[in-house]
Structures are given as structure tokens and as C-alpha cells.
Amino acid sequence: MNHATKAGLHPRNRFNTRYDFPQLIACSPALAVFVKPNAYGSDSIDYADPQAVKALNEALLRQAYGVEQWDIPPGCLCPPIPGRCDYIHHLADLIGVLRGADVRVLDIGTGASCIYPILGACAYGWSFVGAEVDAASWRWARKMVAANPVVAGFIDCRLQKSAQHCFQGIIQKGERFHLTMCNPPFHTSAAEAAAGTQRKQRNLGQKSSALNFGGKANELWCPGGELAFIRRMIAESTEFATQCGWFTTLVSKSDHLAPLQKTLRQAQAAEVRIIDMAQGQKKSRILAWRF
């Protein structure tokens, strides 16, 4: 693989949201039906249309990395590729832009899309373990990885049998990872997730009940939401301190940083970093720690 250089994607560069649609359509003709002039006269898609967003993702992955077979089941989270790519690049910076299959990464909650392992394997040649608690999503991810020779030898999808654990049952005796990563469920309940969906629909000017990013229950919410999930992750990470270099997770709500930093102090983390991320109007951050 031509890691991180295909289509001009140097590790320090990010996907630009001003896409070259003619080139994308040449790589993926199915995108053409969704591309139309926007209010400013430029080519664009309707980001409130779930099929358009998925078609754009397929085209981006094919053009940039040669991933020919990418899809998600109905109702599953449709990841915005630029933001997912940004997380991967920040992790590369965290370890000094190391490349190759000797760099091992664990993705907690890889989902049916398996997007982080696919991006990391293509861009840097890293080896991934993708952990997933939902059996249907795990089977789909395995099938998709197997269908893409460009990543098939780099990704191992493993089924997490307990929703209460992140690392237990996944990290095997004697295994070591340079990095762990996670995009945790951030809502506390199905009702809160539905309210979040409605807010996104209003922001997109969308009236239907479908959301372009989708999402199953385990992807969108868990008891206690993002804060409780990451606190459990931190507590469990102490048991695997010698088997992992950097533990990392996305944190969607900035108000959660202070209590999480307190939890990390209590866990006696040797080093903690907060890395700001932004794609368009969406702002997030990566919380990273090691022992």
C-alpha cells in the first residue's frame, strides 16, 4: 500500500471538505446522482440525505485509499470520513508518526463500518484489533474487511461478549498495543439520543425522522452516557497499563474533561493530554493517557 500518500494525503494533511466532485464521481459513478449545485453555485450534496452521505464516504475511501467495498447496514452509524481521519492523524502525531504493521492499535467499539481500522491501515499500515459488542455489526465488519484485500491482512475484528468491559475479553495475554482508541456512546438514554437526533435534523433543515448519520442503541447511548463510559474505561485501563502505550478516547462534551481528569489523577496516570479537534462547525477533543 502507498500509505498516507495516495491522493496527496500526507499525514499532516486532513481531508478537505471542499471536495473535487468530478474526480470523486470518476472513482465512484454512483455518487453522481447526489451531486447538485448548492446555493453558492458550487457542486455539493444534500448532507441531510443519508444515501448521499454514504455515497460520498464510499467515493472518498475509493479515491484516497483504494477501498473498493465499503458499506453499512441500515440503521447503523454512518461516520463522517474527515473527522474519523482526523482522529487517526492525531494518533499518528502522538506516537511520532510511526508506520507499519508493527504498530498495533485497538479500536473499542469499531462498529459495522470498521472505519478507524480501515483508515489507519490504509494511511499508516498499522495493524488493528477492532472490538465490537454487537454481534451483527461484528459479523458485518469482518465480512467487509475480508472483501478488501488492501486492508484484510491488517485488521482483526473481535467480539466483545460483555457490554461492561472495554479491554477485558479482548486484549490477550502477552499482547501489546501502541494505542487504544474509542468513539464512545455519548447519550445517557434512548430519549436523550432521540432529542439529539431532532436537534441535528433541525440544524440540517431536515423534517423526516431519519438522521443522515444513523446509529444503533449501543452506538448512541449507554447508562450514564459518555462520562460513565469513559470512567469505566479509565478504571479498566489500569489493569492493562503494561500492555498498552497510550489509551485514548474522543470526548464530545467539554464539561466532561474536568471530572475525567480527576478520575485519571485518582488512577495515577503518569501523563494526560487533551488534543483539540475540529471539522467544520463540529468541535471535539481527544483525551489521552498513559501509565
Q: Is 258 exposed, middle or buried (0-12, 13-18, 19+ CB in 10 A)?
A: exposed
Residue 278 has pLDDT above 70, yes or no: yes
Residue 12 falls within a domain, yes or no? no
Q: Is 63 helix (H, G, I), strand (E, B) or coil?
A: helix
What's the pLDDT tens digit per position in 198-218?
555 555 555 554 444 555 555
What's the pLDDT tens digit per position in 14-49?
455 679 999 999 999 999 999 999 888 899 999 888
Tell me the residue range of the domain where 98 lies.
74-290
Top-confidence residue, 64 or 203 = 64
Residue 241 falls within a domain, yes or no? yes
Give the mean model confidence (pLDDT) for residues 259-277.
97
Domain count of the fold of the chain: 1
Residue 104 has pLDDT above 70, yes or no: yes
Which one, of 79, 78, 83, 105, lies nearest residue 92 by Cα?
A: 105
Chain-centroid distance of CA 276 in Å reads 16
pTM as predicted: 0.86
For the chain, first and last CA: distance in Å? 33
H-helix or E-strand spanning residue 236: helix 225-237
Residue 200 falls within a domain, yes or no? yes
Whether 124 contacts 4, CB under 8 Å:
yes
In this structure, what CATH number is given to the domain that contains residue 210?
3.40.50.150
Sheet with 127-132, edge to edge strand ranges: 155-159, 127-132, 104-108, 177-182, 244-251, 282-290, 271-279
d(C-alpha 212, C-alpha 264), whole Å: 35
Which one, of 146, 158, 156, 162, lies nearest residue 120 by Cα?
A: 156
Residue 67 falls within a domain, yes or no? no
Residue 19 falls within a domain, yes or no? no
d(C-alpha 75, C-alpha 52), whole Å: 15
